[in-house]
Amino acid sequence: MKKSIQLWGAFLMAGTLLFTSCKKDDMAVAPTPTLYARLGGNSAISAVIDQFIANVAGDARINAFFADAAADPARLTKLRNNLINQVGMATGGMEKYTGLDMKAAHKGMGIEDSHFTALVEDLSLSLDKFKVPTAEKTELLTALAAMKPDIVEGATTLYARLGGNAAITAVIDDFIGKVAADSRINAFFAAAAADPARLNRLKLNLVNQVGQASGGPEKYSGLDMKTAHKGMKITDAQFNALVEDLQASLVKFKVESRTKIQLLTALGGMRADIVGQ
């Protein structure tokens, strides 16, 4: 946070110095209003941020990052207020930004250059919609660009974002506990639950399967999905129940939304080989 505000501040100060040096012989000229005032203050910034959020929500290049916030009104409101306060404070307004610094806020998300560019485009479209003049638009977008090194981490594997073998093992442990307690599907696992060696093998197979599929060094050596579920006559509803249990474990371990969606989508791809066998 401090660093990003410092960056905004440095940028604004540079603008002010430039202005001062240009105008030092002309004392009659009024000082340039703050970028905050030129943008139109809190209400104009709020309108720009609202449109920006709508643009991001409709942007398939990056909206998976925001799926959890979009599904939780309180979280979305907090994000909105954080963004308004961040822009307000950094442009010279009275707002106080109290959120995380940019490095901490985006750590582990695997944000790439292309994601950053997409988000800036979404903001730029919003500024255009409100007819923010080119000078103010450039000033704001230049300040945002300065935060890029704190936000962009570059491409990461799904495996790394999940937290590697230890984190996957913890998620699978929790998931198995949830399945064992889920009366919609636990009958399928009764034999494994009654035999510790069999349960351990199932657990290891699941960890290795997720590890291998997400780009880790693990090697899955179990049966293919069709063979493993042959004769079980698993229904779509039972498959959905299992996915829900895994989703609950991923939420418990605070796996961020894009990573969660990618893992659940990969699992969803196995549905045809598992349901109705």
> Quick one: CA dihedral 53, 54, 60, 61, positive or negative?
negative
- Residue 113, both tokens: 């250059």
> Quick one: CA dihedral 256, 246, 172, 236, positive or negative?
negative
**88 with 95: CB under 8 angstroms?**
yes
The answer to the question of residue 144 lying near ligand HEM (CB under 6 A) is yes
**Taking the C-alpha atoms of 211, 214, 219 and 221 in order, what is their torsion angle to the nearest 10 degrees?**
90
Residue from 39, 151, 234, 261 touching ligand HEM (CB under 6 A): that is 151
Q: Which residues in the 187-226 window bind ligand HEM by CB under 6 A?
A: none
**16 with 116: CB under 8 angstroms?**
no
The answer to the question of residue 111 lying near ligand HEM (CB under 6 A) is yes
First-to-last C-alpha distance (Å) of the chain: 53
The number of C-alpha atoms within 13 Å of 162 and in the hemisphere containing its C-beta is 27
Size of the site for ligand HEM (CB under 6 A): 21
Residue number, 52 or 159, with CB nearest to ligand HEM: 52
Residue from 35, 62, 192, 206 touching ligand HEM (CB under 6 A): that is 62
Number of H helices, E strands in the chain: 17, 0
Residue number, 144 or 192, with CB nearest to ligand HEM: 144
The answer to the question of residue 8 lying near ligand HEM (CB under 6 A) is no
Residue from 37, 75, 235, 272 touching ligand HEM (CB under 6 A): that is 75
Residue nearest to ligand HEM (CB): 99
Residue from 82, 186, 212, 277 touching ligand HEM (CB under 6 A): that is 82
Which range touches ligand HEM (CB under 6 A), out of 104-112, 194-202, 231-239, 262-270?
A: 104-112
CA 245 from chain centre, in angstroms, equals 21
CA distances from 240 to 61, 72, 179, 184, 186 (A): 26, 21, 12, 10, 13
Residue from 11, 66, 159, 239 touching ligand HEM (CB under 6 A): that is 66
Residue number, 107 or 184, with CB nearest to ligand HEM: 107
The answer to the question of residue 11 lying near ligand HEM (CB under 6 A) is no
The residues that touch ligand HEM, with contacts defined as CB under 6 A, are: 62, 65-66, 68-69, 75, 79, 82-83, 86, 99-100, 105-106, 111, 115-116, 119, 144, 147, 151
